[in-house]
């Protein structure tokens, strides 16, 4: 579920010297390694930087909130931290906090930016804009489900975690198809990224909020090989994953 925005409806240089005379094995090894490297698709999933609402404990969802000073510093740091990655394209949630994060982290690169509503955060209806402490008083059972039993969360007008996950996976599949053999950045939101990664790690939604925590500007990597194999997680919120 995506809330409509205002005005919008819902080896030519190889030779015998390199491999050794007649080294067919060497040629196969080189080309095989190079082929695997060039056709692997990597999605670098980035959560947006901190906002004032994050710091206040206020529900954001799909409501826009700008980065605070900490968030801008976090996003700017990504420019250096990810400088060795050949980002070829940047997909960005249409939310302001994600757009600002993407600009600070990747705006220096001569690459295309694609803004997608499908990358927006889980929609939380009239909770958005309220402090979590306020919502706890008015809807204690629903907040309990949101935090402790996400698979049971079903607040009227809001998106469920299953709906969020379905939306995220559809977007990921489209991005992979459009980005064969490339490294691309996907700047989105904490719950959106966790929903996607939960699917690929086989984690049930009942365990959605289990560690690792998706901190602001955390970097996760989803790697997809050619041939339609299941993508795999190689990095989760800054932590390398055992392969």
In a domain, 20, yes or no: no
To the query of whether residue 48 is one of the catalytic residues in this protein, the response is yes
Low-confidence ranges of the chain (pLDDT < 70): 1-38, 243
In a domain, 27, yes or no: no
Selecting among 44, 50, 121, 142, the annotated active-site residue is 121
Locus of tokens 């056709």:
39
Range of the domain at 213: 41-240
Give the ranges where the chain is alpha helix by DSSP (H): 16-19, 24-39, 52-56, 69-81, 96-106, 132-138, 140-148, 161-178, 190-201
What's the structural domain count of the chain? 1
Selecting among 44, 48, 189, 219, the annotated active-site residue is 48
| pLDDT attached to residue 242 | 76
| pLDDT attached to residue 228 | 74
Q: Are β-strands 41-47 and 183-188 bridged in parallel, bridged antiparallel, or unpaired?
A: parallel
3-state secondary structure of 115: strand
| pLDDT attached to residue 226 | 87
| pLDDT attached to residue 29 | 38
| pLDDT attached to residue 243 | 66
CATH code of the domain containing 55: 3.40.50.1240
| pLDDT attached to residue 133 | 97
In a domain, 146, yes or no: yes
In a domain, 3, yes or no: no
In a domain, 19, yes or no: no
To the query of whether residue 142 is one of the catalytic residues in this protein, the response is no
| Main-chain dihedrals φ then ψ at residue 114, nearest 5 degrees | -120, 120
| pLDDT attached to residue 64 | 97
| pLDDT attached to residue 154 | 97
In a domain, 5, yes or no: no
In a domain, 138, yes or no: yes
| pLDDT attached to residue 3 | 59
| pLDDT attached to residue 38 | 47
The region, left, alpha or beta by phi > 0 then psi within -120 to 50, assigned to residue 92 is beta
In a domain, 176, yes or no: yes
In this prediction the pTM is 0.85
């Amino acid at each position: 579920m995506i809330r409509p925005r205002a005005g919008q409806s819902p080896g030519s240089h190889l030779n015998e010297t390199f491999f050794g005379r007649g080294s067919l094995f060497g040629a196969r090894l080189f080309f095989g390694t190079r082929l695997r490297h060039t056709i692997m698709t990597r999605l670098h999933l980035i959560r947006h930087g901190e906002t004032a609402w994050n710091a206040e404990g206020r529900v954001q969802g799909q409501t826009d909130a700008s980065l605070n000073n900490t968030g801008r510093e976090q996003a700017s740091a990504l420019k250096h931290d990810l400088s060795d990655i050949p980002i070829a394209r940047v997909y960005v949630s249409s939310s302001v906090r994600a757009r600002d994060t993407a600009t600070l982290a990747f705006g220096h690169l001569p690459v295309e930016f694609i803004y997608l509503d499908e990358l927006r955060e889980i929609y939380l209806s009239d909770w958005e804009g309220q402090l979590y402490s306020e919502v706890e008083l008015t809807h204690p059972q629903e907040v309990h489900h949101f935090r402790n039993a996400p698979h049971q969360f079903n607040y009227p007008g809001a998106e469920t975690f299953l709906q969020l996950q379905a939306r995220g996976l559809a977007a990921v599949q489209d991005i992979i198809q459009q980005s064969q053999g490339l490294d691309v950045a996907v700047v989105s939101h904490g719950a959106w990224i966790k929903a996607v990664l939960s699917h690929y790690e086989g984690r049930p939604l009942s365990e959605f909020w289990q560690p690792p925590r998706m901190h602001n500007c955390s970097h996760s990597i989803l790697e997809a090989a050619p041939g339609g194999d299941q993508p795999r997680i190689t990095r989760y919120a800054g932590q390398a994953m055992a392969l």
